[in-house]
């Protein structure tokens, strides 16, 4: 039991992780109940009636990009692998760069699911079903991994040990998130995302301030100390600590960076967020502003990572968690103060709640809107019924994911998160890019991109070291891998773009209505 767990149990102070968690839970739940009252129409439940201001949407967009595994692993990666971790942080900022040219055209299609956006150019049930398949395949692994991380983090912050405690935390948090998404819809989820962005940025900046204060605001001393803790500055600030300095290791690093940069822009909850903006130009402007906000946030995280390496030491962090997930907590613990630890724990907790609610809502939107209303009932369905189906889809999808997260808790499933990002980059992004910007894109090309990339990603992932062949693989005792890279994006992303191009060229072009690009109103 860590000292804060003791504080939590003994109730030796008001500001402890458990009281902070309780406050966040109650506050978020009340918020969802209050704002979710008017969620009986499709536009209200999925798009918050487009009533959120650009500033609020911008903050919610920033929140959409801060996921728990990224928040924890970024700080850990910088603390354990120096330059490689910073490279990953820069790749994460790059997501918004990719999203920037897409933001306005995406909003102007009027679709809020992958299937809906693709259908604006290529009508038909096949389009919506293919979009839903990819959406669910992206959302399931990401939701399961984030749920597991959220459970682990909560049990750690509360000072509870053992797998059973983590599993119980995972189940309770998961059920809480399902109720948030089902009651609050997009309006409730957005409000939690806004709160999360403010909270996380505040917490990271506070942590950065304290860690720099520890070194009397001498960044050079902190950088030097971080390097010394890892056996020398030259090695720590050079590439190769994350995946090795071999050719394969470097390819793995670049592959991971590429997957993060390109995958983030096509994630289902981001596509949904784009359509919550009142206009296309508001979406573009908010994305531009989000670049600045997230750059600030990720730079603060990188400084916190270096601070963790300097103050805590890489060996201590690695012995606590090989992936470095505990670096953020160990740093706030080392810097002292119950308040700082509770603040960081709370930031991670609210990050988990909001991110998971967004993922579950996006998957349920795709199931209810594209499969039930769009394909099964061919549009002949009452809005209230569609919302009802969406709420049930949230409950079923959410509970299934919670079950999977609990069952797979003892397994090494971190690679699943990268699978979701890679699939988004390999299937969703090429299809979206072609639909928005290439007149020659056809239905065959779209289906080849979506299903072909899904098959390609599945096969490569199955035979990669992420699944077998290493101690950190999904099946560590098995070894049937032949693909050398843990991160498959370097191959699967070009394949995804190629399939869309080849499929379109080989099929007969059909004259279709053109989508809307820059809004002229």
By CB under 8 A, what part of segment 369-398 binds other proteins?
A: 369, 373-374, 377, 379-383, 386
User: Least distance from C-beta 295 to other proteins, angstroms?
Assistant: 6
Question: Rounded to an integer, what distance in angstroms lies between the CA atom of residue 20 and that of residue 340?
Answer: 11
Tokens, residue 7: 């504080």
Nearer to other proteins by Cβ, of 56 and 128: the residue is 128
Tell me: does residue 137 bind other proteins (CB under 8 A): no
Site for other proteins in 441-460 (CB under 8 A): none
Nearer to other proteins by Cβ, of 23 and 291: the residue is 291
First to last CA, the chain: 61
Instruction: Decide if 159 contacts 4 (C-beta within 8 A).
Output: yes
Site for other proteins in 248-277 (CB under 8 A): 250, 253-254, 257-258, 261, 275
Tokens, residue 285: 């402007």
User: Least distance from C-beta 186 to other proteins, angstroms?
Assistant: 11
Tell me: does residue 291 bind other proteins (CB under 8 A): yes
User: Least distance from C-beta 377 to other proteins, angstroms?
Assistant: 8
Nearer to other proteins by Cβ, of 120 and 148: the residue is 120
DSSP string, 271-308: HHHHTTSSSHHHHHHHHHHHHHHHHHHHHHHHHHHHHH
Q: Kind and range of the H or E element at 248?
A: helix 247-265
Question: Rounded to an integer, what distance in angstroms lies between the CA atom of residue 375 and that of residue 373?
Answer: 6
User: Least distance from C-beta 191 to other proteins, angstroms?
Assistant: 20
Please select the residue that binds other proteins; options are 2, 39, 109, 492, rule is CB under 8 A.
109
Site for other proteins in 48-87 (CB under 8 A): 50, 83, 86-87
Site for other proteins in 115-134 (CB under 8 A): 116, 120
Site for other proteins in 217-246 (CB under 8 A): 219-220, 222-224, 227, 233-239, 245
User: Least distance from C-beta 145 to other proteins, angstroms?
Assistant: 25
Q: Which of these ranges, 41-49, 350-358, 414-422, 480-488, lies near other proteins under the rule CB under 8 A? A: 41-49
Alpha helix stretches (DSSP H) within 82-218: 83-109, 114-119, 125-157, 163-214
Tell me: does residue 507 bind other proteins (CB under 8 A): no
Q: What is residue 483's DSSP assignment?
A: -
**Residue with structure tokens 């490279």?**
87
Please select the residue that binds other proteins; options are 8, 31, 47, 75, rule is CB under 8 A.
47
Nearer to other proteins by Cβ, of 101 and 476: the residue is 101
User: Least distance from C-beta 489 to other proteins, angstroms?
Assistant: 12
Q: What is Dmax (Cα atoms) for the chain?
A: 72
3-state secondary structure of 468: strand
Q: Which of these ranges, 89-97, 405-413, 420-428, 444-452, lies near other proteins under the rule CB under 8 A? A: 89-97
3-state secondary structure of 475: strand
User: Least distance from C-beta 226 to other proteins, angstroms?
Assistant: 10
User: Least distance from C-beta 289 to other proteins, angstroms?
Assistant: 9
Q: Kind and range of the H or E element at 258?
A: helix 247-265
Alpha helix stretches (DSSP H) within 367-518: 383-407, 414-423, 429-437, 443-447, 453-462, 489-506
3-state secondary structure of 477: coil
């Amino acid at each position: 039991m860590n000292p804060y767990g003791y504080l939590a149990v003994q109730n030796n102070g008001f500001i402890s992780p458990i009281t902070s968690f309780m406050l966040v839970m109650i506050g978020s739940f009340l918020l969802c109940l209050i704002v979710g009252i008017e969620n009986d129409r499709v536009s209200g439940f999925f798009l918050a009636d487009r009533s959120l201001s650009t500033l609020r949407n911008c903050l919610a967009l920033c929140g959409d990009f801060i996921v728990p595994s990224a928040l924890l692993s970024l700080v850990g990666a910088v603390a354990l692998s120096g330059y490689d971790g910073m490279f990953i942080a820069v790749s994460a900022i790059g997501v918004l760069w990719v999203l920037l040219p897409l933001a306005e055209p995406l909003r102007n299609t009027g679709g809020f699911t992958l299937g809906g956006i693709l259908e604006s150019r290529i009508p038909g049930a096949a389009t919506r079903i293919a979009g839903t398949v990819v959406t669910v395949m992206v959302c399931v692994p990401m939701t399961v991994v984030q749920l597991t991380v959220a459970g682990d983090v909560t049990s750690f912050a509360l000072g509870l040990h053992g797998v059973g405690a983590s599993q119980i935390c995972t189940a309770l948090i998961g059920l809480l998130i399902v109720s948030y998404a089902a009651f609050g819809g997009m309006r409730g989820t957005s409000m939690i995302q806004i709160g999360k962005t403010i909270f996380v940025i505040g917490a990271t900046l506070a942590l950065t301030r304290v860690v720099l204060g520890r070194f009397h605001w001498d960044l050079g001393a902190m950088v030097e100390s971080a390097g010394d803790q890892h056996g020398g500055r030259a090695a720590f600030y050079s590439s190769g600590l994350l995946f090795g300095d071999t050719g394969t290791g470097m390819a793995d690093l670049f592959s991971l960076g590429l997957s993060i940069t390109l995958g983030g822009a096509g994630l289902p909850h981001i596509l949904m967020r784009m359509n919550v903006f009142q206009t296309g130009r508001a979406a573009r402007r908010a994305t531009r502003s989000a670049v600045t906000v997230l750059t600030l946030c990720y730079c603060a995280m990188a400084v916190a990572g270096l601070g963790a390496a300097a103050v805590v030491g890489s060996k201590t962090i690695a012995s606590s968690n090989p992936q470095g997930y505990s670096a953020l907590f160990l740093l706030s613990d080392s810097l002292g103060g119950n308040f700082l630890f509770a603040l960081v724990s709370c930031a991670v907790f609210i990050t988990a709640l909001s991110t998971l609610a967004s993922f579950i809502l996006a998957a349920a939107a795709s199931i209810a809107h594209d499969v039930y209303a769009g394909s099964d009932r061919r549009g002949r369905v009452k809005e209230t019924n569609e919302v009802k189906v969406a709420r049930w889809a949230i409950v079923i999808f959410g509970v299934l994911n919670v079950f999977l997260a609990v069952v797979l808790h003892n397994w090494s499933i971190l690679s699943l998160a990268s699978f979701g990002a890679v699939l988004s980059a390999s299937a969703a992004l090429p299809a979206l890019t072609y639909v928005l910007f290439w007149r020659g894109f056809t239905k065959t090309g779209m289906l080849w991109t979506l299903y072909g990339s899904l098959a390609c990603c599945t096969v490569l992932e199955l035979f990669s070291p992420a699944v077998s062949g290493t101690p950190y693989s999904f099946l560590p005792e098995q070894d049937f891998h032949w693909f050398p890279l843990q991160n498959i994006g370097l191959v699967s992303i070009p394949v995804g773009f190629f399939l869309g191009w080849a499929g379109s060229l080989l099929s007969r072009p059909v004259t279709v209505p053109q989508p809307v690009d820059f809004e002229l109103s």
